Amino acid sequence: MPALNGLRFCLHTFGCQMNKHDSERVDGMLEALGASAVAAPEEADLVIFLTCCVREAADERLYGQVSSLRNLALRPNSTLGRRLIAVGGCIGQRDGEGLMETLPNVDIVFGTRSIASLPSLIEEALTKTTAVDIEAKGEGFSSALPSVREHQWAAWLPITIGCDNFCSYCIVPYVRGRETSRPMEDIVAESEGYVADGVQEITLLGQNVNSYGRDLYGSPQFAEILDAVAATGIPRLRFATSHPKDLTQEVIERFATLPNLMPALHLPAQSGSNTILKAMNRRYTREHYLELVRALREACPDIALSTDIIVGFPGETEEDFLETLSLVDEVGYHQVFTFIYSKREGTPAAAIDDPTPREVIQDRFDRLLKVVERHAYEENQKDLHSCVPVLVEGTSKKNKDILTGKSPKNQTVHFPIPAHRSVDQLLGTIVPVSIEEARTWYLSGRVVE
Ligand code: SAH
Ligand code: SF4
Ligand code: F3S
């Protein structure tokens, strides 16, 4: 690999946790080669974008940001004599070389499985002006690369990459490729390393962790991965995301048997209407989904459920939408990520015409938000006056005297810095907090001394 001594880079990351994890690897790899990270693009020789194209809004953000770099002066003492712009992630993978036609100031394009090529692409762009690599090489896991973690106490650990589900609205299978599982030994070895390093929380990642292992010899099950990673003694274990069609009773039972598996599950429903679920190619019914929720609550009565909902899928009627509203009401989620359907070229749903006016979809979206907020508030009330262990993540953006962190149920918890303790002492530790206030999006309280 080429040495990159003295090179300064600035990394902008959009999209899901998989991109955030890739971003930690890009950072680690470049720093290992002698480059250093800077926060502002004006101080950088190389600006890297790890992009997302799951919805149109994410796409547009990239165009604005790349274009605005055009007139930015070079940093004083720049070693390259020009500023390189590299676009990776899902837009890089989707558009490849074509991206340079839409955005002529882009110098390097790399794909979701070609992160390790970046150092040689930088070298190539410096000699040949531009460089592109969107080929999948090797196994494609960026986890073999060195990493600079966003937080020392938390680690994202991909167990699968890619997706084979082809939900009819979704572009991810086209830009992340076929589902590939990492061998169990690698996952366990990486987890053991984190535990030795003092990491408090591991989040296992995959577009659908529940289908882990189908491509591996002996077809190891996701529940076995949970057992093996939990056995490393990691204080907190989480995973995302779970496709309801593949969530097994074995995995559900782990919420009862593994004390370090946190009582929170993100289980995207997308819709509450069987007609729409079918058109989305989700391959489960509303009834099956509700049965999963029942089984989860039986295994772990206090489990906090969250979900993703798409409003305005082509052909969604008022009746379909009411089914979604009633599903959200019936489950009582802690948190719901709500999206308005966004047409993605190349997906099957993009071919379906939809006469539903924009205002009707916006009105449905607003009605959904009201139900979501009511339940988020009600669910948080259940923790009022209880004591919850909080993993401290930093100070509040609005008030430096207030610390913020996450409860086992993944709620945001705010509390004042206790007397005689410093922020540095508390960062990345788990402290007991007595909850005195429960709002829609957060809890607040005081550390129990
Ligand atoms: N693999 C994960 C996450 C996929 S992307 C999963 O299956 O849950 C995250 C969310 O974006 C999806 O759950 C879906 O709700 C939303 N999404 C995906 N494609 C979309 C589109 N075309 N329009 C609107 N929302 C979309
Ligand atoms: Fe997209 Fe469906 Fe795969 Fe999730 S499971 S990434 S929504 S195709
Ligand atoms: Fe976006 Fe790619 Fe993730 S499209 S949501 S960054 S897999």
For the segment 237-248, what is each residue's pLDDT rounded down to a tens digit? 999 999 999 999
* Cis preceding-peptide flag for 285 (omega within 30 of 0): no
Q: 151 versus 238: which is more confidently predicted?
A: 238
Find where tokens 């940093």 sit.
75
- Residues 302, 409 contacting (CB under 8 angstroms): yes
Ligand 3 atom having least distance to the Cα of 207? 7
pLDDT at residue 136, as a whole number: 78
Ligand 2 atom having least distance to the Cα of 308? 7
Quick: pLDDT tens for 189-227. Answer: 999 999 999 999 999 999 999 999 999 999 999 999 999
Q: Can you tell me the mean pLDDT for 428-446?
A: 98
pLDDT at residue 138, as a whole number: 60
pLDDT value at 291 more than 90: yes
Q: Can you tell me the mean pLDDT for 123-140?
A: 85
Give CA–CA dist 10/22, Å, rounded: 14
Give CA–CA dist 101/63, Å, rounded: 12
Quick: pLDDT tens for 367-411. Answer: 999 999 999 999 999 999 999 999 999 999 899 999 999 999 999
- Residues 430, 390 contacting (CB under 8 angstroms): yes
The rounded mean pLDDT for the chain is 95
Give CA–CA dist 298/204, Å, rounded: 24
State if residue 163 touches ligand 2 by the CB under 6 angstroms criterion: yes
Ligand 2 atom having least distance to the Cα of 54? 1
Dist. CA 181 → ligand 2 center (Å): 16
Q: Can you tell me the mean pLDDT for 182-191?
A: 96
pLDDT at residue 142, as a whole number: 73
Closest CA to 114 of 143, 140, 144: 140
Quick: pLDDT tens for 85-112. Answer: 999 999 999 999 999 999 999 999 999 9
pLDDT band per the 50, 70, 90 thresholds, residue 139: low
What the block records as the tokens of 92 is 């890089």
Give CA–CA dist 257/226, Å, rounded: 11
Share of the chain above pLDDT 90, in %: 88
State if residue 170 touches ligand 3 by the CB under 6 angstroms criterion: no
Antiparallel, parallel or unpaired: β 430-438 and 387-395 = antiparallel
Q: Which of 339, 345, 365 to mutate to test the pocket of ligand 1 (most atoms within 8 A of CB)?
A: 339
pLDDT band per the 50, 70, 90 thresholds, residue 1: low
Dist. CA 172 → ligand 2 center (Å): 6
pLDDT band per the 50, 70, 90 thresholds, residue 49: very high
Give CA–CA dist 279/273, Å, rounded: 10
State if residue 166 touches ligand 2 by the CB under 6 angstroms criterion: yes
Ligand approaching nearest to the C-alpha of 344: 1
Backbone angles phi, psi at 437, to 5 degrees: -145, 135
Q: Can you tell me the mean pLDDT for 167-185?
A: 96
pLDDT at residue 361, as a whole number: 98
From atom 5 of ligand 2, which residue's Cα is the shortest distance away? 165
pLDDT at residue 70, as a whole number: 87
Quick: pLDDT tens for 32-42. Answer: 999 999 999 99
- DSSP character string of 179-228: -EEPPHHHHHHHHHHHHHTT--EEEEE-TTGGGTTTTSTT---HHHHHHH
- Decide: helix, strand or coil at residue 46: strand
Q: 378 versus 353: which is more confidently predicted?
A: 378
State if residue 90 touches ligand 3 by the CB under 6 angstroms criterion: yes
Q: Can you tell me the mean pLDDT for 267-275?
A: 98
Q: Residue 419 to residues 148, 284, 426, 446: CA-CA distances in angstroms?
A: 32, 52, 12, 11
Q: Which residues line ligand 1 (CB under 6 A)?
A: 54-55, 169-170, 172, 207-208, 241, 243, 268, 270, 308, 310, 339, 341-342, 344
Q: Which of 93, 94, 165 to mutate to test the pocket of ligand 2 (most atoms within 8 A of CB)?
A: 165
- Residues 255, 261 contacting (CB under 8 angstroms): yes
- Residues 108, 143 contacting (CB under 8 angstroms): no
State if residue 342 touches ligand 3 by the CB under 6 angstroms criterion: no
Dist. CA 54 → ligand 1 center (Å): 7
pLDDT at residue 2, as a whole number: 75
